Structure 1
Amino acid sequence: MVNRIRRKRPNVALLVEASSDYTRRLLRGVMAYMQEHQPWIICKGEYRRGQVIPPELRQGKCDGVIAHIETEQIARVIRACKVPAVDMSSRRLISSVPCVETDNKNISRIASEHLLERGFKHFGFVGDDFFGWSRLRRDCFQQYISATGCHCSVFLNSGSKGAAGHWNLDRTRLTQWIQSLSKPAGIMAGWDGYGQQVLEACRHFGVAVPDEVAVIGVDNDEMECEFSNPPLSSIDNNPRQIGYECAALLDRMMSGRKVRQLRHVVQPIGVVMRQSTDVLAIPDGRVSAVIRFIRAHACQGISVDDVMQTARLSRRMLEISFRKFLGHSPYQEILRVKFQHVKKLLVETNLTLVDIAERAGFEYQEYMSAAFKRIHGMTPGEYRTQFRV
């Protein structure tokens, strides 16, 4: 009989708060990795962001650590413990520690496209100048909007850096800023908490959402979004996958393997649309009617000829109007809606590509797959592997 020597279960410190849906999903990703591989002994305690450190870590009893390294205090502890560590923060306070973060540039691209698809020509961003991820989301959102010839106004939180009130926006200033925007306007909030506060300011001062102002947040914190009034659309930035990748990195490091790539980026899943952006900000009612028809029936295999039967415009005028309001043709809008559904089915179901093609209105799976790769730069199978949660 061959003796099998099991690897000792490592002690791992988790310096990650669990007070929000986002951070709990990060931890669920860590847990998913543990369930698929050898379990760890977790040292967590009652950690709150930037505060209590598990005693096992201070006493040198941990084999590794996963942390949100967002303060110098935490950075000093990580440097002193001299064990493998993985950072969940984009602040990069310790440049030699590998980090896993969401793709903030892509988040801003998705937000801008979502609002542009709804026909908005005026835009705003609500964020924070303290956190790097907020600055990056702001800069990228402005760049994407500017590239379309539109202007993006910015509101920055003026709270003291790192203070408990840092997350609360000045409602008077915020309201004045909202009122100053040309309308209808599409606003990207740097995270769901700011999105909810924008909605509260709009409701308090009688600004109609989504007709006058549409708002999209980031994180897809389900409780935050659903309890907003109206419910807040948000970008799911895939925190579970971030947690999973952090755990996989740490496991490799604790096994003695070198990690050469220090920055690892996880792609967001996409928009979870709710009432706060459920609108078409297009002044031409005929074009709006056609867009609604396409979005309702694209996956039924309709063609541009089918669209023309419902349009009260000539084909040439319809093409011109689509490019004016959406920046692309009716045919491209049909494809966009179909592929939006394809991506949803890839991530949320186990359907075969043949079944997905049929449900998305494609006659041939081969054509769907080829077009998907041409547009998205990866095959449907690769997309499913990358974004499956």
Structure 2
Amino acid sequence: MTKAKRIQVVPDMSLEYFRQATVGALRYAFNTGRMEFPGRWLDHERYGDISPLVKRDDIHGLIVAAHDAAEEARFADLEIPVVNISNSMSAPRIPVVTQDDVSVGRLAAEHLIDRGCRNFAFWGDKGKSYSDERLQGFRQTLGSRPLQVKLGGRNRVRPHPVFKSMKAFMKTLPPKTGLFATLDDSALYFLRAARELGRSVPDDIAVLGAGDDDFLVEIESVPLSSIRLPAREIGYQAAALLDEMIEKDTRNVDSIRLPVHGISERHSTDALQFEDPVVTKVMRYLRDDITCQASDLIAISGVSRSGLQTRFRAAVGRSLLEEIHRARISQAKHLLATSDLTLENIADRVGFNSAQRLHAIFTKSVGTPPGVFRTRNRAIAATPLHR
């Protein structure tokens, strides 16, 4: 029997994202039996030269969260394989396992466009790769739509100046703006800023975060919509990559970017801001019942089929059928990633009349068949953390 490799995880445990990634790494170890974790290094031990700790505990590899070049250098110069789970640097020396942050930006833009927002804003972290990539995807998807960008960052030590900058930025935003803040904690500051400025969320400004931190998204009076990031899967895949690096005695491996799982929609973006009241009515009906048919939407609209199609495309940028398919596929993706439902069950739940029909439209829309999508995106199985 192969001896288990001794691994240490060195993330920022103050953030839920990295706590979840750590759980994912533990799941890989427990599922495979190929890794074991010695006692957790204490906070005061993790700073400075960690090579004595590596030697003391006979560590074969590390999973770390290195956010800048100086921090990365502490790990890159060790004589053991290291995998980074922080996507903060544009040119990392250590292989990175993270989410596809360009897709995070695209998903954010699509969601805010679908809410009918007519103006858009982005708050990011200057010099951070995840922020730059999210802005890239956000901007690409918005195209020529109005966009205001502020790279104001975060400051845990002195948050007040950042909050003042956020309030000043929010004052410049016109009504019916969709604001994407790259992290949940920044989005929460904007919810507070809106309250202090007397701006209604989501009717005046829709606010969207990323990370879907269970605690943060519910802490304000307006629950926060947030993009779900595959933190546990990142930890799991980081452990698998580290296992491979140790087994093959190599550091020459490619970084890995995992797809995102969708959006947890809450009240902060729960407004349909289309100028056309007929389109708003139709979109609200569809959002409440994605199994409805185009004929149902035409009937409740009170206008002709051709009239609704013209007005709908002008407001949304898609045909009525394209929007129905988009809504159904979005829910199908969520069910594939988070449940064990059969394709037949999923087809029935989202409004397709057969699994074959769902398979065909899903493959055309997503670019990959539902089964392949499920394999790539399934959340890590809920294996007990204690054996």
TM-score normalised by the chain length of structure 2: 0.91
2:40 corresponds in structure 1 to: 44
The one-letter code of the counterpart of 1:26 is A
CA contact (8 A) 2:89 2:129 kept: no
1:61 corresponds in structure 2 to: 58
2:311 corresponds in structure 1 to: 321
CA contact (8 A) 1:43 1:56 kept: no
Residue by residue over 1:162-189, the C-alpha shift from the partner in whole angstroms, topping out at 9 and shown as x without a partner, is x643666633332222121121100000
2:289 aligned with 1:297, yes or no?
A: yes
2:186 aligned with 1:194, yes or no?
A: yes
CA distance in 1, matches of 2:182, 2:23: 23
CA distance in 1, matches of 2:225, 2:54: 39
1:229 corresponds in structure 2 to: 221
- CA root-mean-square deviation: 2.3
Give the 3-state SS of the residue equivalent to 1:165 in structure 2: coil
Q: CA deviation at 1:130?
A: 3.1
2:96 aligned with 1:99, yes or no?
A: yes
2:137 aligned with 1:140, yes or no?
A: yes
Say if 1:103 and 1:247 are closer, same or farther in 2 by CA, change over 3 A. same
CA distance in 2, matches of 1:144, 1:316: 27
Q: CA deviation at 1:336?
A: 1.5
Of 25, 28, 35, the match for 1:33: 28
Give the 3-state SS of the residue equivalent to 1:240 in structure 2: helix
User: Percent identical across equivalent pairs?
Assistant: 28
Q: Which runs of 5+ in 1 are unaligned?
A: 1-5
2:148 aligned with 1:153, yes or no?
A: yes
CA distance in 2, matches of 1:123, 1:265: 26
Q: CA deviation at 1:82?
A: 0.7
Q: CA deviation at 1:75?
A: 2.6
Of 216, 219, 238, the match for 2:211: 219
Of 5, 19, 25, the match for 1:24: 19
Q: Which runs of 5+ in 2 are unaligned?
A: 380-387
Residue by residue over 1:323-377, the C-alpha shift from the partner in whole angstroms, topping out at 9 and shown as x without a partner, is 1211101111111122122122212221111111112221121111011101101
TM-score normalised by the chain length of structure 1: 0.90
Greater Cα offset, 268-277 or 360-369: 360-369
CA distance in 2, matches of 1:75, 1:158: 20
Say if 1:92 and 1:132 are closer, same or farther in 2 by CA, change over 3 A. closer
CA distance in 1, matches of 2:46, 2:353: 55
Residue by residue over 1:238-288, the C-alpha shift from the partner in whole angstroms, topping out at 9 and shown as x without a partner, is 111110110001111111254654221111101111110011001222221
CA contact (8 A) 1:11 1:43 kept: no
Q: CA deviation at 1:73?
A: 4.2
2:275 aligned with 1:283, yes or no?
A: yes
CA contact (8 A) 1:16 1:47 kept: no
1:243 corresponds in structure 2 to: 235
CA contact (8 A) 1:169 1:197 kept: no
Q: CA deviation at 1:136?
A: 2.2
Of 351, 354, 357, the match for 1:361: 351
CA contact (8 A) 1:60 1:81 kept: no
Give the 3-state SS of the residue equivalent to 2:137 in structure 1: helix
Residue by residue over 1:12-39, the C-alpha shift from the partner in whole angstroms, topping out at 9 and shown as x without a partner, is 1211121121111101110110111124
CA contact (8 A) 1:137 1:190 kept: yes
2:384 corresponds in structure 1 to: none
Greater Cα offset, 201-210 or 249-258: 249-258
2:67 aligned with 1:70, yes or no?
A: yes
Say if 1:53 and 1:175 are closer, same or farther in 2 by CA, change over 3 A. same
The one-letter code of the counterpart of 1:64 is G
CA distance in 2, matches of 1:122, 1:58: 55
Q: CA deviation at 1:152?
A: 0.8
CA distance in 2, matches of 1:121, 1:237: 26
CA contact (8 A) 1:69 1:93 kept: no
CA distance in 2, matches of 1:270, 1:228: 22
CA distance in 1, matches of 2:83, 2:289: 46
1:124 corresponds in structure 2 to: 121
CA contact (8 A) 2:38 2:57 kept: no
The one-letter code of the counterpart of 1:7 is T
Q: CA deviation at 1:96?
A: 4.5
CA contact (8 A) 1:85 1:98 kept: yes
Q: CA deviation at 1:113?
A: 0.1
Of 327, 336, 340, the match for 1:350: 340
2:76 corresponds in structure 1 to: 79
The one-letter code of the counterpart of 1:363 is N
Give the 3-state SS of the residue equivalent to 1:155 in structure 2: strand
Say if 1:351 and 1:21 are closer, same or farther in 2 by CA, change over 3 A. same
